Amino acid sequence: MNRLQRRARHAMRSAPRRSMGSGMVSTLEGESGRSGTPGGPDDVGAHPPDRRRPLTQVAVAIACALLGFLLVAQVRASESVGERLAAEREEDLAVVLADVTEQSDRLQAEITDLRLLLFEFESTAESEELAFRNLQKRLDDLRILAGVVPAENEGVVLQVADPGRQVTHEDLVDIVHEMRNAGAEAIAVNGQRLVASSAFSTRNARLVLDGQPLEEPYRVAAVGPSEKLITSGLSIPGGALDRLGSYSDVTTSVEELEHVTIPARGEPVPFVYGEPVPADADSG
Amino acid sequence: MIPLIALVVGAVLGLVLQPAVPPFLAPYLPVAVVAALDAVFGGVRARLDGTFSDRRFLISFLTNVVLAVFLVFLGDQLGVGSELSTAVVVVLGVRIFSNLAAVRRHLFRA
């Protein structure tokens, strides 16, 4: 069968279809015959069915597979919420909308509540951190006061050379008090830390601090505002330095230092009798 | 036979892979599927007519899908997307129906 014969046959076949004319179905058939369906008269002859190229056969197979794939995808997609909603009636949709709006309001309120809660927690955490820092600072202060940790900063060092053993323990108490009065925060005498319970005494004509004999020369070191320790502490008129100066062979020297380190007390002082008053007792 | 097998393979692939339709494609996928169906039924009819051509089928398949999607897209841009997609589906549906009627005539000679 050659090309011309084919053409002729197709012309004959399609002629009556066109002439049928007025009916709607037949018009549409004509439409699909021309654009939708393959095999229009003018191109069939190019590739007769029995000599199809494998490449286009593969392409046809791919197109069919694509259709199957898309079909399934679309069927699955139309099972989703949005597609189902599109099929609902208006009254049903109104009900659904009301439900969803209510749910949205509720969730919005929940968001607000949770945000408030979060804010509360955050501020609590902040104030707790502040309280923790305050407590830490207080703990540090108390440790320095109790002498359980070394303390360091600017301060003064007072050297008292007393070969004739003329200095009394009252003189040392005066020196320490004047320093504390001027703002000394940590004091050591001959490397021995002074704490709240420290006491000077005299035993066998030798000065003793907390049971430890003190060797001459005495070295009193203090951490505190160094300038103030001297001007309004040690060297006030009629103060300890004046009195030490009145002894015949006592020599003193005061050093103002950028950095003084006061050692910790070897062992903390055990408290036997003192018991803390419960916190709620003094407030009520 | 091969196209039928390919169709089944594609469907199985879709079932196995469970593809998620991207939101921007959601309005166009139904028309694309209907257009492809139209092309395939047209192909079946042409096969029975003895006038089937691979090239023709492929071109018809692609242009059908692209044109249908383009029409709906155009409708979306003009604000009559749902109406135009209905129109496309109706036209394609009528064509599918007439193609099937032709197939029926071939198979049952009636």
Q: Give the pLDDT band (50/70/90) at residue B18.
A: confident
Residue A115's pLDDT is: 95
CB neighbour list of residue A208: distance below 8 Å, 6 or more residues apart:
A169, A200, A201, A202, A214
Among A84-88, A196-200, A205-209, the least confident range: A84-88
Is residue A3 over pLDDT 70? Answer: no
Please tell me the total number of residues recorded for chain A in this structure: 284
> Cα separation of A61 and B10, whole Å?
10
Listed residue (B107, B47, B94) closest to A23, CA to CA: B94
B85 interfaces chain A, CB cutoff of 8 Å: no
Residue A196's pLDDT is: 83
Q: Quote the mean pLDDT of chain B.
A: 86
Q: Please give the structure tokens belonging to residue A13.
A: 């076949």
CB contact under 8 A, A57 and B54: yes
A34 interfaces chain B, CB cutoff of 8 Å: no
pTM for this model (two decimals): 0.43
Q: Which of A36, A49, A57 sits opposite B95 (nearest CB)?
A: A36
CB contact under 8 A, B98 and A73: no
Residue A62, strand partner residues: none
Residue A255, strand partner residues: A157
Among A30-34, A258-262, B3-7, the least confident range: A30-34
**Contact by Cβ (8 Å): B56, A39:** yes
Listed residue (A69, A115, A250, A123) closest to B36, CA to CA: A69
Cα distance from N-terminal residue to C-terminal residue, chain A = 120
CB contact under 8 A, A74 and B21: yes
Residue A256, strand partner residues: A156
The 10s digit of each residue's pLDDT in A14-55 is 444 444 434 344 333 333 444 444 433 334 344 444 455 677
What burial class does residue A52 get, using C-beta atoms within 10 Å of its C-beta: 0-12 exposed, 13-18 middle, 19+ buried? Answer: middle
Among A69-78, A197-206, B65-74, the least confident range: A69-78
Residue A257, strand partner residues: A155
B40 interfaces chain A, CB cutoff of 8 Å: yes
Interface confidence, given as ipTM, is 0.79
Among A55-59, A115-119, A243-247, the least confident range: A55-59
Q: How many other C-beta atoms are found inside a 10 Å radius of the C-beta of residue B14?
A: 21
B95 interfaces chain A, CB cutoff of 8 Å: yes
Query: What phi and psi, each to the nearest 5 degrees, are found at residue A255?
Result: -115, 135
CB contact under 8 A, B38 and A44: no
CB contact under 8 A, B19 and A69: yes
Nearest chain A residue to B65 by CA distance is: A67
Residue A82's pLDDT is: 64
Q: Quote the mean pLDDT of chain A.
A: 78
CB neighbour list of residue A109: distance below 8 Å, 6 or more residues apart:
none
Q: Which of A39, A43, A77 sits opposite B49 (nearest CB)?
A: A39
A38 interfaces chain B, CB cutoff of 8 Å: yes
3-state class (DSSP) for residue A182: coil
H-assigned helices in A184-278: 226-229, 240-246
A232 vs A88, residue with greater confidence: A232
Residues of B whose CB is below 8 A from A37? 42-43, 45-46, 60, 99
A108 interfaces chain B, CB cutoff of 8 Å: no
The 10s digit of each residue's pLDDT in A153-165 is 999 999 999 888 8
> Cα separation of B8 and A190, whole Å?
100
Q: How many Å is the Cα radius of gyration of chain A?
A: 52
Is residue A225 over pLDDT 70? Answer: yes
The 10s digit of each residue's pLDDT in B32-85 is 889 999 998 888 888 888 888 888 888 989 999 999 999 988 888 887 877 888
> Cα separation of A30 and A7, whole Å?
17
**Contact by Cβ (8 Å): A28, B98:** yes
Residue A107's pLDDT is: 95
Is residue A143 over pLDDT 70? Answer: yes
> Cα separation of A92 and A249, whole Å?
111
Nearest chain B residue to A83 by CA distance is: B26
> Cα separation of B68 and B58, whole Å?
15
Q: Tell me: cis bond preceding A268? Omega within 30 of 0 counts.
A: no
Listed residue (A136, A152, A138) closest to A188, CA to CA: A152
